[in-house]
Amino acid sequence: MLAITCPGQGSQTPGFLSAWLEVPGVSDRLHWLSTVAGIDLERHGTVSDEETIKDTAVAQPLIVASGLLSLLALFEHPADGFRVVGAGVGHSVGEITAASAAGVISAEQAMVLVRERGKAMAHAATATPTGMSAVIGGDEEEVVATIERHGLTPANRNGAGQIVAAGTLEQLAALADDKPARSRVLPLKVAGAFHTEHMAPAVDTLVRLSRAISTHDARVPLVSNADGQVVVSGPEVLRRIVTQVSNPVRFDLCLQTLRDLGVTGIIEIPPAGALTGLAKRELKGVETLALRTPDDIEAAQRMVREHGSPREASEPAWRVVVSPAKGRVTLDGGLAAGSGVTAGATIASISSLRESIEVRSEHPGQVIEWLVEDGDPVAPGQPLLRLHPIGAEASA
């Protein structure tokens, strides 16, 4: 199974888009995305210096645009990717890239959303002097406890012994003076405490914008930063993108889910490198590739052929409800063949050692058949229930 990972802020480096603009059609497409965003992304991706592209309002649109451009070079037609990619996952702002690549929102919607996200987060960061520091090494429980003892938030739990603390500059200084045993604390070059309560004003901005965005269900299952769950519902993907701005990124759980899904190959799209390093350390035996320049396209296309799982890309006349996580399933015993299900209804629960999660149907329909039995072990993304669409869903 092939997964595509989409990096977040901090992955960009000066000039990283220069080589991509030599690929036929990429320059024109970047000009279009720049026009939509109202930002000269070509200049920022080729000649702007490190300080300029570190600006949150510049970095976020630049990262999303670069990822979408590289996918056009990797897959000549979007449907080609839909047929062979088994899962997609983004880190922080990379979730917008993943959502657009999976068909949840258009590229134009993605660029407007990320532009406003970057501006709103940059503005929220000016309210109080805040920042982020990476804690490398140490015992995970001790690291989290120390971070929280200083009033900080473990804003990014990335796996591979890397946790990012976020909060006020005073709190971060106290952490540096009282770091967990066997760990290093490295200040990060960011504008503020992202994925914490300090970003609440940005969430308010994005909530209003999201109400005007139409979505489609994901054509490729997406793994959510919030909890590592597999999500396919378009409205749910968008809701999670919005709320994630002020909540921690659990990329460690995303990596666990990729393992549970049986992923055998991972391609990280530009600006690539950081997520590939995490995957190499956490997912032993999984082939990885950082798609940094067009010189890597041939190797990436070879991985698509070897790890992709061909499937029919057309929409079926029925829908399935899938498991959001790994665990044992408990079915709603009242739902037999022919029963009606309303949108948002709970149809089962998934229990693991960590938690119990309700499984809800995102669509109305009539039960055709259960695809699992009560008590079965299930994997993330595994189909649980098959529905025949009813009402407006059936006539769409």
CATH number of the CATH domain containing 25? 3.40.366.10
The pLDDT value recorded for residue 364 is 86
Residue at a domain's end among 285, 307, 329: 307
Q: How far apart are CA 286 and CA 305, in angstroms?
A: 15
Asked if 92 is an active-site residue, the reply is yes
112 and 147 part of one domain: no
Do the domain assignments include residue 222? yes
Structural domains counted in the chain: 3
311-346 tens-digit pLDDT: 654 445 578 889 999 999 999 878 888 788 888 899
113-125 tens-digit pLDDT: 999 999 999 999 9
3-state secondary structure of 268: strand
Q: How far apart are CA 209 and CA 66, in angstroms?
A: 23
Q: How far apart are CA 96 and CA 110, in angstroms?
A: 6
Residue at a domain's end among 307, 329, 345: 307
Q: How far apart are CA 149 and CA 22, in angstroms?
A: 50
Q: Which residues contact 270 (CB under 8 A, 6 or more apart)?
A: 7, 16, 17, 20, 66, 67, 69, 70, 291, 292
Q: Check the CA dihedral 200-102-323-332 and report its sign.
A: positive
Confidence of residue 394 (pLDDT cuts 50, 70, 90): very low
Ordered strands of the 230-231 beta sheet = 230-231, 222-223, 85-90, 2-6, 265-268, 287-290
231-270 tens-digit pLDDT: 988 999 999 999 999 999 999 999 999 999 999 999 999 9
Q: How far apart are CA 254 and CA 88, in angstroms?
A: 10
The pLDDT value recorded for residue 340 is 87
208 and 120 part of one domain: yes
Asked if 349 is an active-site residue, the reply is no
Full domain range(s) for residue 214: 2-124+197-307
> What angle, rounded to 10 degrees, do the helices at 107-124 and 200-210 form?
150
Q: How far apart are CA 240 and CA 55, in angstroms?
A: 24
Q: How far apart are CA 254 and CA 250, in angstroms?
A: 7
Contact 329, 374 (CB under 8 A): yes
* Candidate from 304-308, 318-322, 377-381 with smallest mean pLDDT: 318-322
Confidence of residue 390 (pLDDT cuts 50, 70, 90): low
**Selected catalytic residue, list 44, 91, 195, 198:** 195
103 and 214 part of one domain: yes
**Selected catalytic residue, list 92, 210, 224, 233:** 92
CA torsion, points 270, 198, 229, 66, in degrees to nearest 10? -10
